[in-house]
Structure 1
């Protein structure tokens, strides 16, 4: 090798090494942005009864118990398996047990977890814990949550090791993800908007973490696209509809009382909730105060709609519609009516129903196959439900009846293919 070639190779190696060092330094720096310094020797911080009461309310606003309680287990003791496209994450123990929970955590360590997504021992947390949303929670509210969790009965429940595929199981891979997609944030009131609007924005964007479901995800699991513009929930195969689009779940033309009724009871004159949102209403929003629900309604009403779509849905063949009509008459018309008119307050109408007409048919397929149930709330304690038909109908038959319902009574939403039913049914997690 000539001296010139050797110098060139050496120069290339040095440049490559410098770029690697710079990239590592950038990832390290981005993962340390706005971070609270926490000593592992810090013990529990003092709390007050007022903080505990406030924290109990905030824990319901954030629906914390749902993820941090294993089915049949002690509340907040963790251990619930949370399936992701990259493997299974197990929720952590939030009770004040010294060995397995938050017993030795300080308020500063808890704040860092909420705000920066880093555990007491310095480990980076997986964003299944929605710190990309919780980073907007104020320090005062984080301290109140900490106070409430410290007041719970301790449970000795060792945290289970996550079961993630390589390289997603590694801290360096998580550090790169955070460098690309996460920045610590602070909620700042918009001076142009009212105090009520700002309160609603804080609840929806922060503790409510509505974006965790109602936004699309890229291949690495990061939110993409417009805020609250809807997205398919991985593995569950429920579609969380756009909160902007009037053809999906946008509420700009709803009255604030109707939005409040939906969040408090699960039903309103405009529609009802099923699937994961039913659980949110049952465990969280029905317990919120009237002013907070009103504030959320004001904020949601203000979301601007997306650009109009001009695509024309593909219509099912006449033979497919005839097959669907026969199945509908046999299995559905008794409750939903021969013209999709339903029964007010009992069985939902299908004619003009936004959930039926959405471009994404996942929810229609899911409800036909596995049923759907409104939440049992104080305002609607005995809701009616939709039974599952997966044991009676094949994928082809579900596609036929879904296509018929989406094409009838003015709906004109487009055909559902059997392979779409097969894919959604095979990939769903209950």
Structure 2
């Protein structure tokens, strides 16, 4: 019995040592002295641009709050996480941080005091960011007006609120890394890969997550349902979803810069990304991102069904609802209006296997982002108070099976499940 107990203790000790090692590997000794001099203007300007690349303000600014002072609640399946104060206030923000400690947070996901950070802060992507970019971003943040705002305690369920559980998660799913140039690729492709994989953290939404909120491959970009938001981030490698391999390069640039293009438009969480981030990218980086996106290895997609059977009563109901509520903007044949209302005929967003986005748009409406290239976007009104679940199912089925569209019908139960999370 003593030998068995001793063996168990040794096994636990070895396991703990392994978890500890996997959490501190790749960490070099850092200078923990706060910078003595004010940041130079060139670094601040560069850091401001990097902050727009990463959309840092999007999470670290509460609605109506001081920019970068944190406090925004981020809902997860494990509870609510609150973003931290990134202003240079010494007591509650980054005022006593060093550039090395900030770099460690991005690269290793560890705070100034040694605490492990939750991956809602996307350090699994930011680990790719270079030290030079980290330093410029830090200089920009410490140039901001300090805001004395205490960080809110996370409201997470047990055991997810423990450092031990987070250490195990990181041991399983996190590996510090730096972006390595692919010598076989062009400079544009490499820059685009660095942006998409790193500060752009596109995989945070466009990659499927497991039950523990982790992805088996942070860079596969094959699409995934965004937790707690009831929006589906479509696959960037599938021509049937959001792949752009066959798009002209200028159309990829335009949709990321303005939110609309002749080949597509953005709504929902992606509209926020364009509004806060990509519309501010410079021309070279937009082009580089487009080159990378067009070069993604396409995934095979199943051919659409030859025909879709629809109940006659449901088909008639959907057609009438469409005529009454939709045809004025989207056209009798789903042709849309160029530059204003998107076509529904042949629209791959309408024919996605995952129907969450369609339900969200019909229920709660939406707008493309207001951008310099599209300052007054046309929007979709909400119908949550006008249409029942059965109505929504019928009209969506009409869209998905008319004008050459060949996608599965939508059931009333499916709509009920999709809307149960409410508007986000």
**TM-score normalised to the size of structure 2?**
0.97
Quick check: 1:361 aligned with 2:355? yes
Question: Are residue 90 (structure 1) and residue 74 (structure 2) matched?
Answer: no
- For residue 418 of structure 2, what is the aligned residue in structure 1? 424
Which residue is 1:198 aligned to?
Answer: 190
Comparing 379-388 and 217-226, the one that deviates more: 217-226
Q: Is the 8 A contact 1:93 1:159 kept in 2?
A: yes
Distance of 1:320 and 1:31 partners within structure 2:
56
> 1:193/1:21 Cα in 2 relative to 1: closer, same or farther (>3 Å)?
same
Q: Which of the numbers 39, 43, 47 marks the counterpart of 2:34?
A: 43
Matched residue, 1:6: none
Match of 1:298 in 2: 291
- Retained in 2: the 8 A contact 1:346–1:384? yes
Take 2:19 and 2:272, find their aligned partners in 1: how far apart are those partners?
37
Q: Does the 8 Å contact 1:235/1:428 carry over to 2?
A: no
Residue pairs, 1:79-158, within 5 angstroms: 79-158=71-150
1:318-375 CA-partner distances (Å, limit 9, x unpaired): 2222211111111111111111011111111000011101111111111000001011
> Quick check: 1:44–1:103 contact (8 Å CA) kept in 2?
no
Q: How far is the alpha carbon of 1:39 from its aligned partner?
A: 6.6
Give how far 1:89 is off: 0.4
Q: How does 1:283-322 map to 2 (within 5 A)?
A: 283-309=276-302, 312=305, 315-322=309-316
Deviations 1:358-407 (A, max 9, x none): 11111111100000101110011111000000010111111111111011
**Could you tell me whether the CA contact under 8 Å between 1:36 and 1:108 is conserved in 2?**
no
CA deviation digits over 1:289-346, x for unaligned, max 9? 1010000000000111112325849643222222111111111111111110111111
Deviations 1:65-123 (A, max 9, x none): 01000000111010001100100000000000000000000000000000000000000
SS at match of 1:357: coil
Q: Separation in 2 of the partners of 1:54 and 1:328?
A: 49
- 2:304–2:406 contact (8 Å) kept in structure 1: no
Number of residue-to-residue matches in the alignment: 421
Taking the aligned partners of 1:310 and 1:342, their CA distance within structure 2 comes to 25
Separation in structure 2 between the aligned mates of residue 111 and residue 161 of structure 1, nearest angstrom: 23
Are residues 1:258 and 2:251 paired?
Answer: yes
Structure-2 separation of matches of 1:213 and 1:49: 34
Q: 1:419 Cα deviation (Å)?
A: 1.7
Counterpart in the other structure of 1:414: 408
Decide whether the 8 Å contact of 1:396 with 1:418 is kept in 2: yes
Once residues 309 and 57 of structure 2 are traced to their aligned partners in structure 1, the CA distance between those partners, rounded to angstroms, is: 44
- The aligned residue for residue 336 of structure 2 is 342
In 1, Cα distance between equivalents of 2:97 and 2:104? 11
Q: CA shift at 1:49, angstroms? A: 1.7
**1:13 positional shift:** 2.4
Residue number in structure 1 paired with 2:268: 275
The Cα of 1:48 is off from its aligned counterpart by 2.1
5+ residue gaps, structure 1:
1-8
CA distance in 1, matches of 2:24, 2:148: 32
Q: What per-residue deviation string (whole Å, max 9, x for no partner) do you get for residues 108-162 of structure 1?
A: 0000000000000000000000000000000000000000000000001100000
1:20 Cα deviation from its structure 2 partner: 1.4
Is 2:379 the counterpart of 1:379? Answer: no
Match of 2:387 in 1: 393
Distance 1:309 1:23 in 2: 44
- CA–CA distance in structure 1, aligned partners of residues 145 and 414 of structure 2: 46
SS at match of 2:80: strand
TM-score by length of 1: 0.95
- 8 Å contact 1:215–1:228 — kept in the other structure? yes
What is aligned with 2:229? 236
Counterparts of 2:70 and 2:272, CA distance in 1: 18
Distance 1:354 1:84 in 2: 29
Which sits farther off after the overlay, 416-425 or 205-214? 416-425
